[in-house]
Amino acid sequence: MKRNHIILSVTICLLAFGLRTAANQIVYPWRACPAIVPVGKSIDILYDNPAALPVDSVILSGPYNRVILSADTIQSGRFEYDSFTQAAVGTLIRITIPEGTPEELYDLVVKSGGETNVSRRSVKVLNAFRNPHRFIHISDPHMSRQWVGTPENGYAKELELLDRFIEVANIIHPEYVIVTGDIIHDYTRFDADSLGWGGVVRSGFDHPPLAEEKYKNFFEGAHGFSGVYGFDAPVFSIPGNHDFYGPKADEYPAKAAQWNRLMGKRVYGFSYLDTRIVGSDDYLGDPVVDIPDHAPMSGLQGKLLDSFLNTEGPGKLRIMAQHRPDRVDTAFMNRHRINILLNGHSHRPHESLVGTTPTLNIRPGAVCRSGEIANWEKILGFFRLFTVDGDTFHHTPPLRFCENPTAPYDQLLLNLTLEFSQDNTGRSAANEAVLTNRFDLDLPDCHIRFVMPKNKDGYRVSGGEVYQTIENSRVVVLDVRADVSANSQKTVTVSAHGTQAD
């Protein structure tokens, strides 16, 4: 396909599938690509503002505090964020995170011309980068492959497992989570049998739940189940072969444009201290257009990722995320000395070495996909935990977050739990938290958030280390780290100074 034919096709599809919405929209940081930023550092907000309305304010909104920001600069122009679809915004807002901002995963709010635009759970503020640091790798949730209830008022069955996995992940408290594709599913199965098959299969623009609702389930959850916004860590997502709904499988510009409209960036890079992470696209955009399987980075996205790595510098360790494990561009891997290649697509855990670096080529299994009941022991409920320390790293074997991923939601037995003895919403002046670790590995720095009533004498914590205190007009939040050994329990208590417990 010639380049001018691609541009024409993309232009038609942008009109047909509505890449630009009528209302304003924050495109970055947003769903596919949030931001991690230490205090004192700046980020650029890509803001789709077709009417060029004045920007009134920018706010970080957390569960217990708000930070009103002053824009450093507001630029108008054309700021492209996808070289294949040529998707762009007209406004770039630069902000700096002020000193003293609490560590939190914030909603980003832009108020402009009477509109309030929110990018939920999209800015992770840090006091400082951590070395070593940890991240979690999951893949292939296939959200909405199986649907419970009516098309209009039901929910994606995969949420039942994802919801419980989020509980486990938030205790581990990684710095970020990477999802290597097949976020949603390109068809919907209603009234499936007990193994997740059979029933009625629907797809296309005329058959809800539509793409908007599928992604909404993934991020916001539904029917009381948490979606990705339930994670306390920023979640970075890349596309897989099932990540579209409505267009035909060979309508690549339309699929990529749909991703832009509902997810934001499709190909991107980000840094965590001296670690460079790049996310690519195996299926929606330019890799599938006249580019051989052994060289998927020889197209437009390869140039974008080359530019990121050359501009940022190599750092000490490099990670790449893609969906398909057998479509490895070894020339790109070798040129940039990629240390870890995260992938999915095949639902069984795997690891091997590729290229001359050599590069660890690794996948975790499927974290929550429906329809894997018959092979659940080899496939279902898995994640991996990585620890990066400068230019070295280590990773766990595939970990199953619960013992019985085929059980009903209320019977799932989690392998890591956190239980409070008292109400933890700011009503109890003393509390006890019990961490239970059923994994065969030690877990340092597990996270416990105590929400306590205000007390002028402060609080005493035993069994863990307080690393942050957030106080507002109603409550005091104590963020605590605690280590828990393999196959053991750890108890952490908090009580007000001046009480008998003190």
| Per-residue confidence (pLDDT) for residue 429, from 0 to 100 | 93
d(CA 116, CA 109): 7
Compare 196 and 22 and report the one with higher pLDDT. Answer: 196
**Tens digit of pLDDT for each residue in 186-222?**
999 999 999 999 999 999 999 999 999 999 999 999 9
Under DSSP, the state recorded for 15 is H
Q: Is the pTM of this model over 0.85?
A: yes
Q: Using 50, 70 and 90 to split pLDDT, how confident is the model at 500?
A: low
**Tens digit of pLDDT for each residue in 54-94?**
999 999 999 999 999 999 999 999 999 999 999 999 999 99
In terms of phi and psi (left: phi > 0; alpha: psi -120 to 50; beta: otherwise), the region of 380 is beta
Under DSSP, the state recorded for 6 is H
Topology of the domain comprising 3-126: Immunoglobulin-like (2.60.40)
Instruction: Flag whether pLDDT at 390 surpasses 50.
Output: yes
| Per-residue confidence (pLDDT) for residue 499, from 0 to 100 | 58
Average pLDDT, the chain: 93
Which phi and psi (to 5°) does residue 334 adopt?
-70, -40
**Tens digit of pLDDT for each residue in 461-494?**
999 999 999 999 999 999 999 999 999 999 999 9
**Tens digit of pLDDT for each residue in 324-347?**
998 999 999 999 999 999 999 999
Q: Which CATH number does the domain 416-496 belong to among 3.90.79.10, 2.30.30.240, 3.10.129.10, 2.60.40.1180?
A: 2.60.40.1180
d(CA 388, CA 208): 42
| Per-residue confidence (pLDDT) for residue 336, from 0 to 100 | 98
Share of the chain above pLDDT 90, in %: 88
**CB atoms < 10 A from the CB of 465, how many?**
12
Same fold, 133-411 and 416-496: no
Domain ranges of the chain: 3-126, 133-411, 416-496
> Could you tell me where the beta strands, DSSP code E, fall in 63-165?
66-69, 71-82, 87-96, 104-112, 115-126, 133-138, 146-148, 155-156
Q: Which CATH number does the domain 133-411 belong to among 3.40.50.620, 3.20.20.300, 3.40.980.10, 3.60.21.10?
A: 3.60.21.10
Instruction: Flag whether pLDDT at 288 surpasses 80.
Output: no
Is 219 in contact with 237 (CB distance < 8 Å)?
Answer: no
| Per-residue confidence (pLDDT) for residue 287, from 0 to 100 | 66
